[in-house]
Amino acid sequence: MEYYNYLKSLHLIFVITWFAGLFYIVRLFVYQIEANDKPSPEKEILQAQFKIMSYRLWYIITWPSAILASIFAFWMLFFTPMGNAWLQMPWMHVKLCFVFLLYLYHAKCQQIFSQLQRNEVKYTSNFMRLWNEGATIILFAVVFLVILKNAVNWIYGVIGILLFSVLIMLGFKFYKKIRNKNSGK
């Protein structure tokens, strides 16, 4: 059991740093996209700085954390007696679906990161602000599933997450109005 707790601790540490990287990289996307609208030479200076910051965050923190979190998760699930028991539980199947969504979210962030590194701006900063909430929704779902360990009541959790998402979007619209008012737009 002690061995399993070490694995679980390491998994949790790298999940936290993975999410920290995902939260921050999208904020850097917002800033990099907004830097595109600045006049020269400010535009070029900011873009260069955000590219460096994004590169370091993505490849020194986010990717290694994702890989290590996954390694420790697979180790716990497939090479420990406790993991075999977890795999039999319905809530774990639901959690693994959300983890799959997290991998898809990460892959899309990789695509956006690569585009911005090539100075290809395909999204607005407002889209990125909303996109940033995707990781938050996945985090809420996974934490509630792991703590409650109930696959039946996850439906209530999903309804709660959707309501939370609506609140986030309303908060975003409110923030945008305040920001536009303060900038004179």
11 marked among binding-site residues: yes
Residues with Cβ within 8 Å of 117's Cβ and at least 6 positions away in sequence, in order, are 51, 54, 55
51 marked among binding-site residues: no
Distance CA(40)–CA(156), nearest Å, equals 51
Backbone phi and psi for residue 80, each to the nearest 5 degrees, phi listed first = -135, 150
Helices 90-117 and 125-148, packing angle to 10 deg: 160
Backbone phi and psi for residue 34, each to the nearest 5 degrees, phi listed first = -70, -30
Annotated binding residues: 11, 95
Annotated binding residues for heme: 11, 95
